[in-house]
Amino acid sequence: MKWGRRFSSDLMQVGLIRRVVRFHPLQFLLILPVLVVVVLASISMILGVWHPGFNFGLVLTWVVWWGLLIALFVVVGRGWCLMCPFGAFVDWLQRLSLWRKRTWSLGFNFVYPRRLRNLWLGIAFFVGFIFLDAGYGISNSPALTGGLIVALILWGLWVALLYDRRTFCRYQCPLTVFIGMSSMFAPFEIRRKDAEVCQQCKTKNCFKGDEHFYGCPMLEFPGGGMDTNRDCILCTECIKACPYENITMRLRGWGHDLWARKRGLPDESIAGVILAALVTVVSLFLVLFLPKLYLLVNPLLPAGTPPNDWPRLVSIGIIYLGGIAVALLLMYGFSHLSRIFGGDKSIPTRFFFTHFGYAAIPLGIMKFLSDILDHIFRTWGAVVDVTRALVQDFPLNRLMLEEVTVKQLMSAEQTYFLQTLMVGIGFGASLYIAYKLAGRAFPDKVTAFKVFLPMGAFIFILTMTALWALSAAL
């Protein structure tokens, strides 16, 4: 804890920041330009040119937005959720207001079932989301990407009519696991200042809201001792609603939530391992085994018309499930080794699995970021070209350019070096988190180091897998 406190700072002590955060329409003003861009991108994908390299909406979504999304994880956590139009539609539908507090709302406001208040559905939806690109090539299809945007909007609105607040964003959004777990690595947080003030508070405005402000839309209770960024979308409603000004924004050490949270949860731990597995084990398996597996499956299934190439889809599905299973089994095996090294047989293996799964998250984030950087470096020139084409045929984007600029910011070797460096940073951060977790579980330094060793070996294997996947893709 000392390391996190030493480097923390209360941003609400800065007058300009305090005034901006307390400005009621702030979130709406952040959402509005993003909404305009999303509308233009959607029109482009639905009505514009169908070639993936010339479509404004497609290039903007999978080059600019996807890279920005991951970069925000590292800096502010769920920064995208603060300005996400899909979540805004949920708020606007329920509140029937863009930002002002209304005394009445729309929807049934049912309480989400207790047995579903976890990440299991979110994990399945996120793996399915990633599979859409690997299997169907959604990032190369304006129609599929546009259809996904429409489906997400309708899905979110339907859930908003049934359940209270942002139930969709917290539990069902396909990106909530990715964004939520990764935000725990960010050096930024919204937390209460003085626990005693919150304990004596009778109104709990940060959660319930008051006559002027809404409570937390993500069903979080900042005054109740919230200790992770997982579900905080940085909307600052709690800061505005608190009558005692006891909730603040501050900086802290990177990865603080991953080792300093009160207790580990099985769904969070498994989600952390899966996030890392998707860009390490699964990526390597796709490179090594997809061609061979396709040849085995091809005679057994009828060949479809792309993107419904059934042998390829089944092969990729097998690799995804197999890669995730391998990573989880490895994690369980090394957790058992930590149990043996710890010397206390009364502590079950599942405790070590749940406790240390969070350590894989920094490596997974950095590998995701290294992959998108390679894509950006190879396709950045297209952003200017497709924007120019959109301006010439605004807003339909039907103009087909003669060519799209292909200009490498770095050579393949330089890009690989940068990717390797980022994976190395993720490796170091994951090792650090694992060491801190070991120290929290075992006060004795010798025992903590022994328990850490198998977890360090697991992280090392994932890192070597990531580097192998990068080199194999050259």
Predicted local distance difference test score (pLDDT) of residue 402? 67
What six digits make up the tokens of 328?
A: 């989880």
Dist CA 456 CA 458 (whole Å): 5
Determine the average pLDDT of the residues in 276-281.
97
Query: What pLDDT does residue 326 have?
Result: 98
Query: How high is the pLDDT of residue 317?
Result: 95
The 10s digit of each residue's pLDDT in 151-175 is: 999 999 999 999 999 999 999 999 9
| Residue 170 pLDDT | 96
Backbone angles phi, psi at 117, to 5 degrees: -85, 70
In the structure, what pLDDT confidence band is assigned to residue 410 with cuts at 50, 70 and 90? Answer: confident
Q: What DSSP string describes 88-120?
A: HHHHHHHHSSSSS--S---S--BPPPGGG-SSH
Confidence of residue 3 (pLDDT cuts 50, 70, 90): very low
For residue 216, what pLDDT is reported? 95
In tens, the pLDDT along 261-273 reads: 888 999 999 999 9
pLDDT over threshold 70, residue 2: no
Which has more pLDDT, 140 or 444? 444
Residues 6+ apart with CB under 8 A from 249: 10, 11, 12, 17, 21, 188, 189, 190, 236, 239
pLDDT value of residue 4:
43
Q: What is the CA radius of gyration of the chain?
A: 23
Mean pLDDT computed over 300-305: 80
pLDDT digits (tens, 9 = 90+) for 18-37: 999 999 999 999 999 999 99
Among 125, 257, 273, 127, CA closest to 184: 257
Residue-averaged pLDDT of the chain:
91
pLDDT of 181 strictly over 70: yes
Banded pLDDT at 409 (limits 50, 70, 90): low
pLDDT at 406: 59
Write the pLDDT tens digit of every residue in 458-471: 999 999 999 999 98
| pLDDT confidence of residue 405 | 60
Tell me the backbone φ, ψ of residue 245, rounded to 5 degrees. Answer: 50, 45
Comparing 30-34, 332-336, 368-372, 404-408, the range with the smallest average pLDDT is 404-408
pLDDT at 6: 46
Q: What 3-state DSSP class applies to 217?
A: coil
- Return the higher-pLDDT residue of 250 and 404: 250
**Which pLDDT belongs to residue 111?**
95
Task: Tell me what the mean pLDDT of segment 386-414 comes to.
Answer: 77
pLDDT band at 473 (very low <50, low <70, confident <90, very high): low
